[in-house]
Structure formats: structure tokens, C-alpha cells
Structure 1
């Protein structure tokens, strides 16, 4: 894909991680993209390691799109962070590139710590919303992380899962009702353990204890101050 196809000169994205397959953040087998940099700093955030906008993590958007094109069996793309909307131009280039590559049945789900009202406030972010199929909006509030609320893809009950397209409404409209509870996915890369998914309060400590009993010691973790 050329720079022109992404809507202008080549953009770079501060990238924390990319992983496939992701099975815990949206339906099916998904490509997961986590941006680097977030100033919202929700207490209890699982991904404190993605808060710093570290310029060393910059990567051309075309490289991320090349990785996506190398994958097979992709049902959707999930973009989280960090805070994707704090890199609006790079996010726009990424979303446009995904739209140019993806078959019609591949959906785009984006996570944001901003409230939906704020994202709808400007023309620039409204355009970004329209490029998505569904968006989870709102800050994570730890005391509203409740198992009995049927939250499958949301971290706390204040957050909204907004459907944008017909595909989004089909896949996410009633998806959190009557479904299995949230679960976690574990990935080991470069001697680091990554937890992917929506944990409930206490899940991370229990998981760490179980890994420790198996001889896997976590050391420094990203969800503690």
C-alpha cells in the first residue's frame, strides 16, 4: 500500500504490540493492535506499560498493514491501547488501510477511554468513528468492574459498546447477553507474559498465583503502580 492510499504522506503509529490470533476482545479470531501512549491513566488499568508515548515505538502504518495482509483466517481487527484516539492521524491512516484491505465480513472494534460524547464533539473524531464497526467508549472504573453485569468485552459497566455499521450491529448488538463470561488469553513472547482480555477484579492476582505455583514467576507487572 502506498502513502497515497492511506490518505496522505506516510504516517507512523506509536505501537505497543500486535498479536494474532486474539480471541478475547471481540468475536472470532482477531488481529489485535495496541497503540502506545495514553494520558487518561485510569486507576486499575491493566496496561500501564502503554501509558508513555515513547517515540522509540514508532512504526510506519504501512508496516502494520503489511502484517495484517500476511494473516489468514481473520474475522476482525481490534484496536486498543494506550489510547488510539490520541493518535488521530495515524489512526485514520490505519483505519483507511484496513478498510482497503479487509473483506466485507471483517469488522473493526476500537477501544477508547474517552466518553462517546467527547468523541462525537469534533468532525475529526466523528470521521474516525464512522470508519469503525463498533467502539467501546468511556474510562475504566475499577469499582464498576462487576462479574454479574454480563460484561463480556467491556471492563466496567459505565463503558458503552456503540455499534456504528450494519456489521457492527449484527455482531455486537446483542452479543453481551447470555454469553459466556469474560476470559483471558495468555501470550508468551520474548520472555514476557502478555495477558489479553477483560479481567474481573482479582483475576490478575489469581492468575499470577496459579502461574507461580507452576513455576512461572511474574516479577514486575503492568497493572500495579
Structure 2
């Protein structure tokens, strides 16, 4: 039987880079994080170059992602969808977000979606507008490395945090001073480790300040720990 958040004939497949719980950055409270695979924007200085290739081997049924979400023990205050570029998979993204909205019911679980495209471009087509209607808030715009100010929600200062619902307004409206909250003070980066067929991988979830990852790699080398392949270098 398919998860309650999906229809029996749901057939969309999502190119998926990673799904992780719990996520304590990139939004309000304790969250589920879903990262799509595939991005053609290729921002200079991107820390997630490993998500650029639209690798068909990463495709999974949207129903499976919704099933994973339903299996989480909780609490789940929100779901963050990032990438990659989620809007490059409009059919799968739309089905995913509809399923999340159905699953949450009346529970205040917010949906926050990241896109490297500016909000005016996303608002231009009916397809993208329909996806925006399923979000509580979006963070939009390309990453610009020189404008990285260590914001907890935005990779760089040019990006917009756009609340789209009352829940989004309550959790993601920027204060008059232009600062923003991530459920805590200052920039936050979460570290997680996965065991997979290719061995052990360490993930950094959140938005580091400009130069933080290079400084971390240098500190690890001094301690005798070699980082190996990293997502923020070509």
C-alpha cells in the first residue's frame, strides 16, 4: 500500500542526493531534510558540487521518500528541500510537496524549499507558481561567494527568504533589522556520518561562513586526518 501522502497511481521518480533526519539547521526546529540530485546553475563557490550531475542511478520513487518521511519517529517541525536544484524536477517536486502537505494535515509542519533561481523567475511560469503554492517559504537566488555573511538561512546576502503562507510568515519573516533566526543564535552547521557501500562519509548540513570549509580541512590535515574527496572542490 502506498504511503498516505501519495496516490495509488503516483509514478514520479525523484533524483535524490540524500535524505536525513534529524536536521537542526536550515529552518525552524527539528526537521527532515531532502536534497535533490541535479543542478545546471553551477554557482561558483558552491559547497555541494556532488549534487550537480543529474545521475539517473539516484532516482527513487517519490512514494518511497514519503514513506521514509512517515516512518520518522518525530518530532518533525518542518521539511527542508534543497539540492541540487529542486525546481529542475518539477513533476517529482510537485508530487513530493503535495504528499508532504497531505501527510502533515493540520499539524504545523512547514515546507521550506531552496532554489538557485531568483523568485521573479520562479513566479514567471504556471508550473513553478503551482509549486510555490505548495511551499510555506522559499529561499531563492544564486549563491555568490563574496556575499556569504554567515547567515543561518541564506548562503549569500543576495538571496531572498520569501514566506508564502501564514506559517511561513510566522517562522521566516525577516526582522526589521534584516537579521534572521534559525531557531538559535548565529550560523549553525550540523555534522552527520553515514555508512554506505562506498565507505564512511561525513556530511555538513547548514550554511558555513566563507572560508570555513577550507579552514576545517586545514585543521583536519594538521591533526593527521585527510579529508579525501570533498564536495566543495572541483
Q: TM-score of the superposition, structure 2-length normalised? A: 0.89
How far is the alpha carbon of 1:208 from its aligned partner? 2.0
User: Bigger shift: 31-40 or 213-222?
Assistant: 213-222
| 1:219 lines up with 2:228 in the alignment | yes
CA contact (8 A) 2:3 2:67 kept: no
Structure 2 CA distance for aligned equivalents of residues 126 and 83 of structure 1: 16
Aligned to 1:91: 93
Structure 1 CA distance for aligned equivalents of residues 3 and 217 of structure 2: 44
Task: Determine helix, strand or coil for the equivalent of 2:190.
Answer: strand
CA contact (8 A) 1:6 1:94 kept: no
Aligned to 2:152: 152
Count of equivalent residues: 222
Structure 1 CA distance for aligned equivalents of residues 67 and 5 of structure 2: 15
RMSD across aligned positions (CA): 1.9
Structure 2 CA distance for aligned equivalents of residues 66 and 183 of structure 1: 28
Where in structure 1 do 4 or more consecutive aligned residues deviate above 3 Å? 1-9, 174-179, 210-216
Structure 2 CA distance for aligned equivalents of residues 6 and 134 of structure 1: 25
How far is the alpha carbon of 1:213 from its aligned partner? 4.3
User: Bigger shift: 58-67 or 177-186?
Assistant: 177-186
Aligned to 1:131: 134
Structure 1 residues not aligned, in runs of 5+: none
How far is the alpha carbon of 1:3 from its aligned partner? 9.8
How far is the alpha carbon of 1:4 from its aligned partner? 9.6
Structure 2 CA distance for aligned equivalents of residues 132 and 199 of structure 1: 25
